[in-house]
Structure formats: structure tokens, C-alpha cells
Amino acid sequence: MSRVGKKPIPVPAGVKVTVGAQIDVQGPKGKLSVPLPKGIAVEQANGKLEVKRESNQYAALHGLTRALTANAVTGVSTGFTRELDIVGIGYRADVKGNVVSFSLGYSHPIEFVLPAGVDCKIDKQTHLVLTGYDRQVLGQVCANMRALRPPDPYKNKGVRYTGEVLRKKVGKAGAGGKGGK
């Protein structure tokens, strides 16, 4: 039996859940919908959601549907936060409206347009705090920002998640004497 799927999902006050062909979750931060696969049923009782399955054939979908539903409920009630750090001399970011402008050592600045539902705040030009109610969209935006200049394993420069542990590689040894003219 799925251990994730068995756990009930508490529904906080102010969050409205509608179960039909899909699960619609509406709260103070926004509105999300989660697809409901066949073989999975959702029951709502006394402030909790229970995800049930017809048989063991749907075990993987059971845990998946419960996790997606829990993320939707959390997102519309409190939201999610991801933090990025920009490391490197001269590397920085500025935000104007929904456009983040990065200076990452290339010959041109990079303009990154934020999708609807994702907000960005910048501290000290090198620390980005991204917030949103859709966990999947927020994670994808952070991954796309990190991909603009991934952390270099030799100098550890680039865009990284806050708290991300990087393994620094040793550079080329012995720059003198061999193979010259």
C-alpha cells in the first residue's frame, strides 16, 4: 500500500476543493486543478481529503495524485518559495515588473520574462527570492534561470540554488615547462 497515498490531506480554512473529472482547488493565492486519473477517487470529509484507489494496479497513481493534490492545497493557501544565488565577480540581476535582467559575464544582458503567478524579489543584486502558488511552474522557472549560467565546477561561479552543495574540481596541474616551444 502506498504510504504517501494513505495520508489524509488537511484542507485549511479559506481553501475550496471541488472534486469532479479533476480536482479544482481555489484559495487566497490562486486557483489550480489536478487531473484525476481513472481508478483513483477523492473523498472530502470533515476538513480533510482522502485519496483512494480501486486496486493495487493503480498504486503508483495513488501516491502521485495525493502528492499533486497536497501541493495544490499548500500552494493556494501559503504558496511556495525558492531562492537562487548568483556567484561571480560582476554577476548580478535586476527586476523591473515581470522581467528579470541578468548580467552573467556574457557580452549582453539576458532578459528573463517571469510567467504569471511567479514573483521575484532581489536582495543585494545577487540573491533572488522567487515565490508562486504553482510548485511545478516555480521549480521550472528556477531551473531555467539556473541554466542561464550553471555553476562552474572549477571556479564555482554561476547561478545556483541557495544551500546547493557544489563539489569543486581541482584545476589542471603543472602549468610550467612541458610541451612548450
Please tell me whether residues 67 and 133 are part of one structural domain. Answer: no
- The pLDDT value given to residue 49: 86
Cα(150)–Cα(166) distance, integer angstroms:
11
Neighbour-count burial of 176, counting CB atoms closer than 10 A to its CB (0-12 exposed, 13-18 middle, 19+ buried):
exposed
What global pTM score does this model have?
A: 0.81
Residue 29 counted as domain residue: yes
Model confidence at 176, pLDDT cuts 50, 70, 90, reads low
Residue 138 Ramachandran class (φ > 0 left, ψ -120 to 50 alpha, else beta): alpha
Provide the number of structural domains found in the chain. 2
Domain endpoint, select from 77, 98, 121: 77
Residue 34 counted as domain residue: yes
Backbone angles phi, psi at 25, to 5 degrees: -120, 125
Helix (H) or strand (E) holding 71: helix 59-77
What CATH number does the domain containing 20 carry?
A: 3.90.930.12
Please tell me whether residues 68 and 99 are part of one structural domain. Answer: no
Residue 122 counted as domain residue: yes
Residue 175 pLDDT greater than 80, yes or no: no
Please tell me whether residues 25 and 60 are part of one structural domain. Answer: yes
User: pLDDT of 47-82, one tens digit each?
Assistant: 888 888 888 888 888 888 889 999 999 989 888 999
Residue 125 Ramachandran class (φ > 0 left, ψ -120 to 50 alpha, else beta): left
Domain that holds residue 139: 80-161
Residue 10 pLDDT greater than 90, yes or no: no
